Amino acid sequence: MNTKLLLIAGTAITSIGIYSASTFAASVTSQADANVIAPMTITETTPLNFGDVSVDAVTPGTVILNATTGVRTITGGATAVPGGANAQGAYVLGGVSGKTYSISIPGINLTDGTNNIAAVFTNNAIGTLPAAIENIGVGGTISLSAGQVPGLYQGNYTITVDYN
């Protein structure tokens, strides 16, 4: 008899446990979305050129190229040499209108194969694409050592743009 009573009590408790758990359960069906947008693009239309310059044997100098206007400013012992083809770099950014973005241009060394000139870069990007494309300029500053060895100094720099 005790066994029957235990079996009946156990079944009742199990039924109550199952019944009470399902009484408090709830569920909802939700929707997940993903909006795939066009990746940002960047295309060079005019290469950056600091132009022809000379530097004093004693006094170092700098050449600053404005990212918006292309105006070249010379300081210290540097001298602008007429006839050089200085120009700010020009680029076209592409992407989704109204999206914000960031731009990064790390500094580099321009080299003639042996000697270096430090270069840092600036840009006039506004940070929000006003349309599907935006034209931007890149300028910068090169730092010339006193008595910098004459030669053609070149280097490749990387511009990285991405949505914020």
The per-residue pLDDT for range 2-32, each reduced to its tens digit, is 555 444 545 555 555 555 556 789 999 999 9
Query: Whole-prediction pTM value?
Result: 0.79
Q: Are strands 89-94 and 41-46 parallel, antiparallel or unpaired?
A: antiparallel
* Alpha-carbon gap, residue 155 to 67, rounded angstroms: 18
Nearest by Cα to 54 from 117, 107, 120:
117
**Mean pLDDT across the stretch 158-163?**
96
* Alpha-carbon gap, residue 28 to 148, rounded angstroms: 72
- Collapse the DSSP code of 16 into the 3-class scheme (helix H, G, I; strand E, B; otherwise coil) and give the result: helix
Tokens matching residue 51: 């132009």
- Collapse the DSSP code of 45 into the 3-class scheme (helix H, G, I; strand E, B; otherwise coil) and give the result: strand
* Alpha-carbon gap, residue 9 to 106, rounded angstroms: 77
pLDDT of 159 above 70: yes
* Alpha-carbon gap, residue 58 to 55, rounded angstroms: 9
Q: Calculate the average pLDDT of the chain.
A: 89
- Helices and strands in the chain: count of H runs, count of E runs: 1, 11
Tokens matching residue 147: 């008595």
